Amino acid sequence: MRNPRRVWRPWGAVAWLAGVLFVLPAAWMVLTALHSEPDAATNPPSVAAPLTLQGYAEFFGAGTGVSPWPPLINSATASVGSTVLVLLLAIPAAYALAIKPVRKWTDVLFFFLSTKMLPMVAGLLPVYLFAQYTGLLDNISLLAVLYTSMNLPIAVWLMRSFLAEVPKEIMESAALDGAGLLTTLRRVVAPVAAPGIAATALICFIFSWNELLFARVLTGVVAGTAPVFLTGFVTSQGLFLAKVCAAATVISLPVLVAGFAAQDKLVQGLSLGAVK
């Protein structure tokens, strides 16, 4: 792109091959979702079997009468809620670490990252007992708060490197011109850091949307999230592959849309920080 003379033709073919390798499992999932259960389970796998929307119909409750909307809404609540919380907490912290350095700020960063050392499975029992004690079991806000704590360290780390890219001279001249903190944030910091914020938000959103372990243990009928709903299809009797694939396709959709919309921002955002 930047230097067309250097483009070596085979790279294009390799890129297509890599793309196909990455897309294959997902494409197979989408295709299987459109097959009937018997076709999905044939040997060898039938690629050309007639297409049907039966899998999707079953996902949306045909036959069982179980609506997929409550789990999807739960997932959206937990993911969006925790992403917003993470940004609200991480941006000021990262701002303090990047632009107004605190003494021993590397120690602070070290603390943030060291909290990622705890194996998540180990946290299950204490969190479960706490939830039971406080009556927060099967409550979606507990999940949102938990996801916030899981994403916060990485978010602070990423945001700090994004905000460190804001030129100090501009901040100082803004201060000399008598601009208040809020004005500086809005006029100077926000435009530079926006793609970085978008990238961080996307990363947090994907993680929360797909989290299964805590959701499975801490939620039940009321607050079950989409991945938990998905496990329900696997454990049922008989043929389930088409149904699972249809469910998985629908559940992946929001992340896909968000990812597709943000992929340019993602690259732009990530290229700001962490590097130099």
187-209 b/e with 16+ CB inside 10 Å = b? ebbeeebebbbbbbbbbbbbbbb
Burial 117-127 (b: 16+ CB within 10 A, else e): eeeeeeeeeeb
Min CB(133)–another protein separation in Å: 11
Q: Does 95 bind another protein (CB under 8 A)?
A: yes
Is 254 within 8 Å of 74 (Cβ atoms)? no
Q: Please answer whether residues 143 and 218 qualify as being in contact, where contact means their C-beta atoms are separated by less than 8 angstroms.
A: yes
What would the two tokens of residue 163 be?
């905000």
| Of positions 49, 80, 109, 179, contacts another protein by CB under 8 A | 109
By CB under 8 A, name the one of 176, 178, 182, 221 that touches another protein: 176
- Phi/psi at 106 (nearest 5 deg)? -65, -30
Q: Is 186 in the site for another protein (CB under 8 A)?
A: no
Q: What CA–CA distance (Å, rounded) separates 79 from 4?
A: 41
Measured distance CA(105)–CA(102) in Å, rounded: 5
CB 223 within 8 A of CB 143: yes
- What is the full DSSP assignment across 226-269? HHHHHHHHHSSSS--HHHHHHHHHHHHHHHHHHHHHHHHHHHHH
Applying CB under 8 A, among 48, 63, 65, 117 the residue interacting with another protein is: 117
Selected from 51, 62, 73, 175, the binder of another protein by CB under 8 A is 175
Under the criterion CB under 8 A, does residue 131 sit at the interface with another protein? no
Return the range that interacts with another protein (CB under 8 A); candidates 51-59, 65-73, 108-116, 182-190.
108-116
Based on the shown chain and the rule CB under 8 A, indicate whether residue 110 belongs to the binding site for another protein.
yes
Residue type, 94: A
Residue closer to another protein by CB (options 154, 166) is 154
- For residue 83, give both structure tokens: 């992403």
Select the residue interacting with another protein from 52, 77, 139, 149 (CB under 8 A).
149
- Interacting residues with another protein between 17 and 76 (CB under 8 A): 18-20, 22-23, 25-26, 28-29, 41-45
> Taking contact as CB under 8 A, which single stretch among the options 9-17, 50-58, 65-73, 184-192 is the one that binds another protein?
9-17
Stretch of residues binding another protein (CB under 8 A), selected from 53-61, 63-71, 182-190, 237-245: 237-245
The verdict on 81 binding another protein (CB under 8 A) reads no
Cβ of residue 57: shortest distance to another protein, in angstroms?
19
In the range 193-212, which residues lie near another protein by CB under 8 A?
203, 206, 209-210, 212
Q: Binding to another protein by residue 145, rule CB under 8 A?
A: yes
Stretch that binds another protein, among 48-56, 61-69, 120-128, 184-192 (CB under 8 A): 120-128
Amino acid of residue 109: L
Under DSSP, the state recorded for 47 is: S
User: 164 or 223: whose CB is closer to another protein?
Assistant: 164
